[in-house]
Amino acid sequence: MRRPRTYKKGDGQNWRKDITQVVIHRDVDEIEGSAFYENNNLTEIDWGNSKVTTIGGNAFYKTGLKKFSCPDTVNVVGRAAVAQRKYLREVECNAKKLAKNAFASNKSLETVILQEGVKTIEQETFARSPKISTFIWADSVEGVGENIFKDSTKLHELAESGDQEKIIEYLKKCVSPLMKLCVNDGKLEDIKKILEENPEAAKVSGQQRNALSYYCRYGSSLEVIKVLVEAHPEGAKNEDAIKARRIQ
């Protein structure tokens, strides 16, 4: 087994792609952008007594990490810092700012835990991560960008704890939270809540087509279809919706 290597201040980008474990030196206050870029071998980070405040863009892009957490000294997780991995399953973070695409395109990501201290989540932070099933919110969050869950599924299992009303308020900014819930037969109470907060969502799908035609075509349950009809009765008269129901 290879012994851990120590990342020191000034070590720069694309550092030691042959390592599997790294120890962050106590003097390091920033993980530079692309520091461990495409290091598929890296599976473990030991933050030790470091006082890191910034994790640069693409710092851990395409690594072998299965879990990502960082010290409570971190203020910023940069753009695409921990993105594009098929191994990452869990993220636990309390950085004040999560930049655009910080944790995007993680195909195996299932659990996200935002600890108190997180204040800003920029656009598409967790986009294209289709297996997210548990998302624990932080009451400290003050601002959320658009489409933070774009093309991510299982939204009906979000937030094991936290302010549900606030989460729904942010989710309605997404391109298609309703589409994802309906197509995956999410909880009816969550679908109803989105429709209460954003009635227009029942009229069109994410592709601006008739919502009922889209959900019928792709296999939403009868219970889901009934909720949509109640929210937008005119949609049931649309020819596309009728044809799509026949296809199913």
Q: What integer pLDDT is reported at residue 190 of this predicted model?
A: 66
**205: nearest Cα among 193, 221, 189, 220:** 220
Q: What integer pLDDT is reported at residue 86 of this predicted model?
A: 85
CA geometry: angle at 49 spanning 45 and 54, to 5°?
A: 65
Q: How many CB atoms lie within 10 A of CB 147?
A: 18
CB distance 86 to 108 below 8 Å: yes
CA dist., res. 113 & res. 170, Å (int):
17
Q: List per-block mean pLDDT (blocks of 10 residues) for the chain, which spans 248 residues.
A: 80 83 94 94 93 96 94 96 91 95 92 90 89 79 82 50 51 48 59 68 47 45 69 56 38
Q: What integer pLDDT is reported at residue 62 of this predicted model?
A: 93
CA dist., res. 176 & res. 63, Å (int):
29
Distances (CA, A) of 202 to 82, 140, 181, 248: 34, 31, 12, 20
pTM for the whole structure: 0.64
End-to-end CA distance of the chain: give it in Å, rounded: 54
Q: What integer pLDDT is reported at residue 177 of this predicted model?
A: 47
Q: What integer pLDDT is reported at residue 232 of this predicted model?
A: 66
Q: What integer pLDDT is reported at residue 85 of this predicted model?
A: 81
Give per-residue pLDDT as tens, 13-39.
888 788 899 999 999 999 999 999 999
CATH code of the domain made up of 1-175: 3.80.10
Quick one: tokens of 224? 């889901």
What is the per-residue DSSP string for 20-38?
SEEEE-TT--EE-TTTTTT
Contacts by residues 134-138 (CB-CB < 8 Å, ≥ 24 positions apart): 134/110, 134/158, 134/160, 135/111, 135/159, 135/160, 136/112, 136/160, 136/161, 136/162, 137/161, 137/162, 137/163, 137/166, 137/167, 138/94, 138/114, 138/162
**210: nearest Cα among 245, 238, 176:** 238
Q: What integer pLDDT is reported at residue 122 of this predicted model?
A: 93
